[in-house]
A and B are shown apart, each in its own frame.
Chain A
Amino acid sequence: MKNTFPQTPNRRDALKQLASLTALLVGAGYSTFAQAAYNKAAFDSKSVNEAVKFQGGGGIAESKDILLNAPDYAENGAAVAIGMSTGLPGVRKIMILIEKNPASLAASFEVSEFVEANFSTRVKMSQTSDVYAVAVMADGRALFSKKEVKVTIGSCGS
C-alpha cells in the first residue's frame, strides 16, 4: 500500500481508492462467509447454557422431539460419531455441545428451508461427559436432549 497514493495525496482521491478496493474485495468472493459471522463468544463459552444463550436461544428445555444419536461408550475420544435430528418445524439452528470439553460448543448448523434438520459429524471428547443436541427454534426456545458418553481413552488433541 505504500506507493499506491500519489506524492501529494488528495483526501477525496484516497477515499475513492479505498472504496473501490473494498468493492473489489467484496466482489472477489470474500463475501462467501458474510451471511452469519462466526460467533466467537459462543464457541469460547465454558458451559452449555452460556453457549446456547450466545447463539440466540432463550429458555432451555428438554424435549423428546430432539433425537440424539451417540454411542454409550467411546473407545477413542478423538473421534466420536454424533448424529442429531428433529422432525419439529421451525428449527433455526442446531448445535452439538460437549459439556466437559474446554469449550462446550462443538458445531452449529444454520437450518435453511433447503435442508432437513438432520446432521451427523464426529467430535473430540476430552473425558466422559454429557453430550447435548440443542435446537434453537424460530420463536427463540431452545430444546435439547442429552446423553452421557463414556470415554475410555480421552483426547482433546489429536
Chain B
Amino acid sequence: MSEPTRIRAQAQGGKTTVRVLMSHEMESGHRKDGSGKIVPSWFIQEVSISLNGKVILDADFGPSVSKNPYLQFVIKGGKTGDKLSLAWKDNRGQTRTDEASVS
C-alpha cells in the first residue's frame, strides 16, 4: 500500500507554512515500459486539506504533477497544536488520509 504523506507545518508571524510530500507514482499514461507497452496512468486526482476538521484547501492534480507530489502553501493564522489533515484520492479510487500537528 501507499506510504504515508509527510506533512510539516510551521506557525510563524500569524501564518502557517505547510510543506507536504505525498508518496505516489504519478504515472502519466504516456510512458512506455521496457517491452514498449504503455504504462497505464495512475495519479492523484484530488487532494483535500483540513485544519481542525474544516476543509481549507482543495486541489486537483493532473498527470503532469511530478512523482511523489510536493506541495507548499500558506494558511492565514493557525497556531501550534492545530490539527492538519490531508486526504488524497487517485484515478484508481484509492485514498489515503494522514494527519499532523502545527508546530
Contact = CB atoms under 8 A, between A and B. Distances in A.
Contact of A39 (B55, B60, B97): B60
A32 B31 contact: no
Interface residues of B, number: 39
Contact of B31 (A39, A101, A156): A156
Interface stretch (A1-9, A11-19, A118-126, A145-153): A118-126
Contacts of A123: 64-66
Interface residues of A, number: 39
Q: Chain B: interface secondary structure?
A: strand
Interface string B1-41: 00000000000000100000000001110111000000100
Nearest to B97: A32
Contacts of A80: 66
Given A33-B48, A38-B45, A157-B39, A119 B72 contact: yes
B72 A120 contact: yes
B100 interface: no
B59 A105 contact: no
Contact of A107 (B30, B51, B59): B59
Interface of B: 15, 26-28, 30-32, 39, 45-46, 48, 51, 54-67, 69-77, 87, 89, 95, 97
Given A36-B60, A116-B15, A120-B73, 13 more contacts: A32-B97, A33-B48, A35-B55, A35-B58, A38-B46, A39-B60, A78-B66, A103-B63, A115-B74, A122-B65, A122-B70, A157-B30, A158-B31
